[in-house]
Amino acid sequence: MAFQPVDYYNIYEQLTSEEKLVRESVADFVDNEVLPVIEHHYQAGTFPMDLVGKMAELGLFGITLPQEYGCAGANYVSYGLAMQELERGDSGVRSFASVQSSLVMFPIYTYGTEEIRKKWLPKLAAGSAIGCFGLTEPDFGSNPSGMITNAKDIDGGYLLNGAKMWITNGSLADVAVVWAKYEGEVHGFLVEKGMKGFSAPEMKGKHSLRASVTSELIFQDVEIPKENKLDVKGLKGPLSCLTQARYGIAWGAIGSAIGTYQSSLDYAKSRIQFEKPIAGFQLVQEKLVWMLNEITKGQLICMQLGHLKDSGKMNPNQVSLAKRNNVDIAIQCARIARDIHGANGILDEYPIMRHSANLESVRTYEGTHDIHTLILGADITGIQAFK
Ligand code: TGC
Ligand code: FAD
């Protein structure tokens, strides 16, 4: 069945023609190309690689970067709308695009030399190269400043040692943006597939984000050429990339919530119990209204965040509020949707359990729910409560 946009406050009416086009074309792509195959991939634990070229054709990789590098040069509202629609399909598909765009192309564009930009950005935009972002380590997740992975000077470059864990697209990647300590500070390095001493085994056994590849990255005396070091020093390097990606996740979570809401509304109208559709019972209506209410608030948060970002006035703490809120309400929507679907809610015929399980990762990655609480707490009180 064709998807009906959920837009209770007529937000889409106010979009520019370009923003409308982006949202509608990604929505069509999700309806026609993602939803028909995603359950199969989810069950098989595989990423739908066939979608990469199609996402590239839609301009979804590095969508906000300049056209001279093969990118779409779109604004951040368009980026957000694209992430919303992709995650209505599946969080793993949105993850693929987020990592490629915000965590790989953004740092290459922002901190790479012109030579490095020209080498990687057109290929990443076209989907002929895939990237990943290595920050988290087995013993350093929420606190990346403690990382052990390190780089030392050698003739003509750097020697990289250490390991990363939980890296989206790691085993697929042609280039990894890896954060490592160098001279006591965090620096970024581009590690290329095939470099001696670099391996990226896939992690198995996930109950969440099954249609996404997650990997370890292992570096044993990997020689990195000088030009592959990014021009940024300190944790603000990776955190600036995370701000971009968290922005996309805030929008994406709304897409996931729309997916479970829409399925619930359709189901409630057609499922008959006690001789009437369950949508006619007050308790079910309350659940549907709660979902719509929270989705609408989340949409308004994202639109305002997008306008702030497009006008250069957004601060990273505002992204924390949006990521924290929207992922949280999306999880609650999935939970409520499971109730509304009764036993059918556990079947792969409906998207509910897939969204629900995916969101458990989304709540943890890019800063856990509680880390974003602490970021906001520190911002409003002026007192850090991390340590
Ligand atoms: P702190 O002292 O607060 O900051 C260090 C420097 O960074 C600057 N900064 C930021 N810059 C840009 N954007 C942000 N969001 C920033 N937040 C902070 C800050 O101004 C400072 O700059 P300077 O010039 O003074 O040096 O750093 P801290 O060590 O106290 O850490 C704070 C904390 C805990 C909030 C931070 O470490 C954090 O966010 N931890 C969470 C880790 C995390 O999010 N990891 C994500 C890994 S990647 C991932 O999950 C990808 S999933 C992808 C997918 O599949 O979609
Ligand atoms: P921990 O940091 O060990 O946290 C455990 C618990 O303790 C959490 O509830 C946390 O909120 C809490 N906690 C921690 N510190 C505090 C504190 N100071 N005060 C109060 N509570 C605290 N990372 C990458 O670098 N690149 C990727 O591409 C990537 N993709 C991922 C894909 C998936 C599917 C998943 C699940 C994770 C991915 N990650 C990636 C890793 C992710 O960013 C981390 O899992 C996340 O940052 C949390 O780290 P952790 O799992 O080590 O949890």
Least distant ligand from the CA of 138:
2
Nearest to 231 by CA among 223, 221, 222, 240: 240
Residues forming the active site:
366
- The whole-chain average pLDDT of the chain stands at 97
107 touches ligand 1 (CB under 6 Å): no
Mean pLDDT confidence for 227-233: 98
Cβ–ligand 1 distance for 95 under 6 Å, the answer yes
- Ligand 2: residue whose CA is nearest its atom 17: 386
List pocket residues of ligand 2, CB cut-off 6 Å: 99, 133-136, 141-142, 166-168, 209, 214, 361, 364-366, 368, 370-371, 374, 386
Structure tokens at 298: 């989340």
| Atom nearest to 140 CA in ligand 2 | 52
State the maximum Cα–Cα separation within the chain, in Å, rounded to a whole number.
79
User: What angle do the packed helices 76-89 and 236-270 form, to 10 degrees?
Assistant: 50
Cα 172 to Cα 96, 332, 337, distances in angstroms: 11, 32, 33
218: helix, strand or coil: strand
Give the Å distances, CA to CA, from 197 to 85, 183, 194. Answer: 39, 22, 8
Q: Which of 239, 317, 379 to mutate to test the pocket of ligand 1 (most atoms within 8 A of CB)?
A: 239
| Residue 318 beta carbon below 6 angstroms from any ligand 1 atom | no
| Helix runs in the chain, H state only | 17-29, 35-44, 50-57, 76-89, 91-98, 106-111, 114-126, 236-270, 282-310, 316-340, 352-364, 369-381
Candidates 1.20.140.10, 3.40.50.720, 1.20.120.340, 3.20.20.70; correct CATH number of 237-381?
Answer: 1.20.140.10
Count of C-beta atoms within a 10 Å radius of residue 362: 25
Question: Beta-carbon neighbour count of residue 200 at 10 Å?
Answer: 21
So what's the pLDDT on residue 3?
A: 59
Claim: this prediction has a pTM higher than 0.95: yes
Whole-number pLDDT of residue 275: 98
* Sequence ranges of the chain with CATH classification 1.20.140.10: 237-381
At residue 74, the pLDDT reads 98
Distance from Cα 103 to the centre of ligand 2, integer Å? 16
Class of domain 131-233: mainly beta
Distance from the CA of 122 to the center of ligand 2, in angstroms?
31
Percentage of residues in the chain having pLDDT higher than 90 = 99
Q: Residues 334-382: pLDDT tens digits? A: 999 999 999 999 999 999 999 999 999 999 999 999 999 999 999 999 9
Distance CA 264, CA 137 (A): 39
The residues of the chain that CATH labels 2.40.110.10 are 131-233
Handedness of CA 98, 324, 177, 173 (dihedral sign): negative
Q: Which atom of ligand 2 lies nearest, measured to the CA of 139?
A: 52
Grouping H, G, I as helix, E, B as strand and the rest as coil, residue 1 is: coil
Q: Is 70 exceeded by the pLDDT of residue 304?
A: yes
User: Closest ligand 2 atom, CA of 144?
Assistant: 47
| Contact partners, residue 239, CB within 8 Å, separation at least 6 | 316
> How far apart are the CA of 239 and the centre of ligand 2, in A?
14
Q: Once rounded to an integer, what is the mean pLDDT over residues 49-65?
A: 98
Looking at residue 5, its pLDDT comes to 87
- Our answer on whether the CB atom of 235 is closer than 6 Å to any ligand 1 atom is yes
pLDDT tens digits for range 134-182: 999 999 999 999 999 999 999 999 999 999 999 999 999 999 999 999 9
Start and end residues for every CATH 1.10.540.10 domain found in the chain: 11-126
What is the token pair recorded at 289? 């209204």
Is the predicted pLDDT of residue 4 greater than 80, yes or no? no
Ligand 1 in contact with 264 (CB < 6 A)? no
Q: How far is it, in rounded angstroms, from Cα 127 to Cα 53?
A: 6
The domain 11-126 is placed in CATH, from the list 3.30.360.10, 3.40.50.10320, 3.40.718.10, 1.10.540.10, at: 1.10.540.10
